[in-house]
A and B are shown apart, each in its own frame.
Chain A
Amino acid sequence: MVVVILAGYMNLTSCSGCQKTKQDQPAMDNKKDSMDQARVEQLKKIFFNIPSPVEMASLIKKEGFSYDKKLLNKVESVDTYVGEAKQAVNLGIYGADLSYASIFDQKQECMKYFAAAKKLATAMSIDGGINDSIVAKLAEQQENRDSILKIVTGAYADLNGYLKENNRVEVSALVISGGWLEALYLSLTYAEKSNGAAIKTRVAEQKMVLENLLNYYSSFADRPVLNDMKNDLLAIQKVLNQVEITSQKTTVTKADDGMMVIGNGGKASMKDDTMKALMDVVKQIRTKYIS
């Protein structure tokens, strides 16, 4: 009896790779259409991508700036974050801080931020991504920056995977948004300095990223847990709409080393008063979430 139940369940359950006969599928055209649309919508929620906070942090370092611990969200605040939305956003914020610390080889800081992220993940009952074995791995690799980066980014990717596969896609959206917000805040801080031109351009380019992020939010039906962050992102978009992006026809060529080179595309520019207005709104929103 147990074997029969298990065999029947295996036929119905998805797996990483399996097969079914077409005769097992219902032959009702109306149902097929609605199931296809449901699958399309489900895939839209899973297949979403914005650049990693690591990329912003690596530009900051590449431009010759120094690490500034005072910019980051305090790890001591971790216990004050209550409620899934605030915890998720700060999990993302700590992730961006962790990326920043990793890029600047701040090993002890990395351990602290990873511990804070783990605390939040545990409080949110997230079993994937950040666990004791990953923390131990990070401790072992303290002398190797590339390994630290691999562990950190891998842990957050797995965490997002866990959330998506356990029907907590909204939580994943909030984690990603928190990471983006913090990376934007850190970049703005450096963009304001002299020699910050390249970072200022990168900040201006966030107009494209934010448009993608807000489109992602619109793929969810009204979800109260996302409302606050959605409104905050819209406030940021109001300022970023002043950024000008010129576009040219994309070109594809081959470099001497055989690498495909994708050229032209768009160029973003932002006036100083727009950057100041952006920093004001980002600071206000960030303070709301981290305090």
Chain B
Amino acid sequence: MKKFAIVIFALLAFGITTQAQCRAFTKNRVLPNLSGYIQNENYNAALFMEGDESEVLMTFYGGKNYRLVVMGHPVLPDVEFEVLDTNDELLYSNKNAENKTVFDFRMVNTQQLKVRVKVPDTGGTLVHQGCVTIVAGHKE
């Protein structure tokens, strides 16, 4: 009975640990890319499978410089992300960018922008799943 309880406890502990992996991934792999910028306190990270996509609407204030960092776990193919205005006009895509994970920009006026992320589907037999994180930081 004691051995059974230990096994169940280990399974539960393992589950809790895996749920925290996106936070650890964000802290250790993503946030260092925000160096020099003040991080926004919102948390935007989740497990994505190949083919998953999501979008977040963000408000950026006029007169400020921002950095957007969008990163996926290395097990995933390169995460694609776009920045669009609220009329769905494409303002930026990382597809042809030299740096695929960081986008620096300056806002003239305050505006809401959509950040759309997608994990490409490689069509293989193995389905990869990993954390995808979006963080934003600002400076004057």
Binding site for B on A (CB under 8 A): 2, 5-6, 9-10, 13-23, 25, 39-40, 42-44, 46-55, 58-59, 62, 95, 128, 149-150, 153-154, 156-158, 160-162, 164-166, 172, 176, 179, 202, 205, 208-209, 212, 215, 249-250, 252, 255, 259-268
Contact = CB atoms under 8 A, between A and B. Distances in A.
Contacts of B58: 49
Nearest to A261: B106
A255 B83 CA distance: 18
Interface of B: 3, 7, 10-11, 14-15, 18-27, 31, 38-47, 52, 54-62, 64-65, 73-76, 85, 87, 89, 91-92, 103-113, 125-131, 134-136, 138, 140
Contacts of A53: 41
A11 to B, nearest CB: 12
B38 to A, nearest CB: 5
A13 to B, nearest CB: 5
A284 B23 CA distance: 36
B75 A18 contact: yes
Per DSSP, chain A at the interface is: helix
Contacts of A51: 40, 59-61
Contact of A260 (B27, B47, B106, B130): B106
Contacts of B15: 9, 13
A95 to B, nearest CB: 7
B140 A5 contact: no
B19 A205 contact: no
A154 B131 contact: no
B108 to A, nearest CB: 4
B58 to A, nearest CB: 5
